[in-house]
Amino acid sequence: MSQESSTELKTTPFYNIHKELGAKLVPFAGWDMPIQYKGVIQEHLCVRNGVGIFDVSHMGEMDIRGKESKKLLQKLVTNDIEKMLDHSILYTVMCYEDGGVVDDLLVHRFSEDHYFLCVNAANSDKDFQWVRKIAAAYDVTVSDTSAETAQLAIQGKDSEQLLQRLCDVSLNDLRYYHFKKAKIHKNDCIISRTGYTGEDGFELYTDSSLAEPLFLKILEEGKSFNIQPIGLAARDTLRLEMGYALYGNDITAKTSPLEAGLGWVVKLQKEDFVGKESLNKQKEAGLKRKLVGIKLLQRGVLRPHYPVFAEGQPVGELTSGTFSPSLNMGIGLCYVSPEHSQVGTRLAVGIRNQQVPAEIVKPPFVPPGVKH
Task: State whether 155 and 43 are in the same domain.
Answer: yes
212 and 157 within one domain = yes
Q: Given 116, 144, 172, which residue is the final one in a domain?
A: 144
Domain limit, last residue, from 227, 242, 257: 242
The pLDDT assigned to 1 comes to 38
Could you tell me the pLDDT band of residue 2, with boundaries at 50, 70 and 90? very low
Is the alpha carbon torsion for 98, 247, 368, 218 positive or negative?
negative
Q: Say if CB 175 and CB 193 are below 8 A apart.
A: yes
Sheet holding 60-65, edge to edge: 89-95, 101-111, 114-119, 60-65, 141-144
Residue 208 lies in a domain: yes
CA atoms within 13 A on the CB side of 354: 11
- Within a domain: residue 77? yes
Q: How far is CA 151 from the centre of its chain?
A: 13
Same domain, 13 and 131: no
Question: Average pLDDT for residues 60-78, to the nearest whole number?
Answer: 98
**Residue 173 and residue 202 in one domain:** yes
Strands (E), the chain: 24-28, 31-36, 52-55, 60-65, 89-95, 101-111, 114-119, 141-144, 149-155, 179-184, 187-192, 201-207, 228-230, 290-296, 307-310, 313-324, 329-336, 346-351, 354-361
Q: What is the domain-level CATH number for residue 302?
A: 2.40.30.110
Contact 107, 88 (CB under 8 A): no
Q: Are residues 42 and 154 in the same domain?
A: yes
Residue 222 has pLDDT above 60, yes or no: yes
Whether residue 293 lies inside any domain: the answer is yes
Domain finish residue from 216, 242, 268: 242
* Domain of residue 83, CATH code: 3.30.70.1400
Domain that holds residue 35: 6-57+148-242
The per-residue pLDDT for range 319-368, each reduced to its tens digit, is 999 999 999 999 999 999 999 999 999 999 999 999 999 999 999 999 99
Beta 60-65 vs 141-144: how paired, if at all?
antiparallel
pLDDT digits (tens, 9 = 90+) for 113-147: 999 999 999 999 999 999 999 999 999 999 999 99
Three-state DSSP class for residue 103: strand
Distances (CA, A) of 186 to 13, 148, 183, 213: 16, 17, 6, 9
Average pLDDT of the chain, as a whole number? 96
Domain count, the chain: 3
Confidence of residue 369 (pLDDT cuts 50, 70, 90): confident
Asked if 55 and 146 touch (Cβ cutoff 8 Å), the reply is no
Contact 344, 297 (CB under 8 A): no
Backbone angles phi, psi at 337, to 5 degrees: -70, 155
Q: Is residue 247 part of a domain?
A: no
* In-domain check, residue 304: yes
Do 298 and 153 sit in the same domain of this protein?
Answer: no
> What are the CA-CA distances from residue 25 to residues 119, 124, 174, 213, 280 (Å)?
22, 21, 34, 21, 43
Collect contacts of 179-182 with beta carbons under 8 A, ≥24 apart: 179/87, 179/88, 179/89, 179/108, 180/87
Is 7's pLDDT higher than 90?
Answer: no
- Domain of 220, CATH number, reads 3.30.1360.120
**Residues 173, 159 within the same domain:** yes
Rounded distance between C-alpha atoms, residue 59 and residue 190, angstroms: 15
